[in-house]
Amino acid sequence: MSLNIEKVEKQYKILATGTLINALNGISISLENGQTLGIVGESGCGKSTLARVISGLEKPTVGKITWEGGEIADKAKNHLRPLRSRVQLVFQDPYSSLDPRQQIGAAISEVLTVHKLVPRNQVTARVEELLSIVGLTSDLKNRYPHQLSGGQRQRVSIARALASEPDLLILDEPVSALDVSVRAEVMNLLIDLRAKYGLTYIFISHDLAMVRYVSDVIAVMYLGKIVEFGSWDQIIERPFHPYTRALIAAMPDHSIIGNPETLSKTLQGEVPDPAHLPTGCAFHARCPISVPECSIRVPLLLEISPKHYVACPEVSE
């Protein structure tokens, strides 16, 4: 096991009202080296908070995260640096994650000098190498982010993340902001890089089709909890949790066409306010198969078949 997330909780306090929000509510996942974990869920489910906690950008309120045996949180910031350089994040919008007034080359070389990764006289050569790794020509290094296309900008973000030779790359909606025809190229690049450098990925998206495409294992999140966890074919082909089933049904998929009936098979209601979580199972009010007990008992994530975990006692085949 290389990445271990143990009973992680993350609370935020709304300063104005003092209300506590449970963004993560007891998350446990372990991921082996070289695997890709897909995390799927709708806004407010805690998937981006989880990314920030795993990367060490934020500390969990409860629980711990270990990477190759070393704990990511709970360490003084300076000690975190060597570990952090091995865990890197790629954000959704490269336009806001890159400094608009910094040239591309400088954005990448900054990583190399901060982490003292290569001797000064080799920085330029390494920047050019990183650009070529992500499929960009070295003459782009003197450009500014606004002079690049969306796809090129996201490639720069990936090059920047790769600069510190990470083992684990956390990809938070990496293609969602890109035009459709450009997405496939960036996805292919990510898959090639994974094979070439033996990277471990955590791929976060609201788009189940993309998650399914890259992941070995998938976690479905709802309001700060994992409701189902399993291999990609278990989650897509044999989903158990009613929320997973609803997500799959709602996924815009052009393999089914001209059938308006498919639109009506949908969940009622909306995701509840995380500041006022429902009692029992957080999904019960929208659930098509809920029974009265669902509003009282908190479902446990149980293994229903080898390595397939579901948090719903009511569901059956």
Partner 1 sequence: MSTPLLSVENLAISTIQDPRVLINDVTFEIYEGEAVGVVGESGSGKTLTALSVLGLLPRGVGVTQGSIKYNGIDLNAISSEEMRKIRGSEISMVYQDPMTALNPVMKLGKQLREVIESHEKADSSTDQRVRDALLEVGIPDVARAMESYPHEFSGGMRQRVMIAMALILSPKLLIADEPTTALDVTIQQQILALVSEERHKRNMSMLWITHDLGVVANLVDRLIVMYAGRIVESGTVKEIFTNPQHPYTYGLLSSLPTTADKDRKRLTSIAGVPQKPWLVGQSCAFAPRCFKAAPECSSTIPQLVGTLEKSVSCFHPIEANI
Distances (CA, A) of 162 to 84, 99, 120, 131, 197: 12, 18, 18, 10, 10
Q: Which is nearer to partner 1, 122 or 132 (CB)?
A: 132
Residue 21: other Cβ atoms inside 10 A:
18
Q: How far is the CB of 261 from partner 1 (least distance, A)?
A: 8
Which chain residues interact with partner 1 by CB under 8 A?
Answer: 42-43, 149, 151, 179-185, 187-188, 191, 206, 208-210, 212-213, 236, 246-260, 262-264, 266-268, 270-271
Q: Name the amino acid, one letter, at 120.
A: R
Distance CA 6, CA 293 (A): 28
Q: How far is the CB of 52 from partner 1 (least distance, A)?
A: 20
Q: Which is nearer to partner 1, 127 or 148 (CB)?
A: 148
Which residues does residue 205 pair with via DSSP β-bridges, in sequence order?
40
Q: Which is nearer to partner 1, 101 or 254 (CB)?
A: 254
Q: How far is the CB of 122 from partner 1 (least distance, A)?
A: 31
**Six token digits for residue 1:** 């096991």
Distances (CA, A) of 103 to 4, 28, 94, 140, 151: 37, 40, 14, 9, 17
3-state secondary structure of 149: coil
Q: Which is nearer to partner 1, 166 or 239 (CB)?
A: 239
Q: Which is nearer to partner 1, 273 or 293 (CB)?
A: 273
Q: How far is the CB of 206 from partner 1 (least distance, A)?
A: 6
**Minimal CA–CA distance to 240: which of 185, 311, 169?**
311
Q: How far is the CB of 91 from partner 1 (least distance, A)?
A: 18
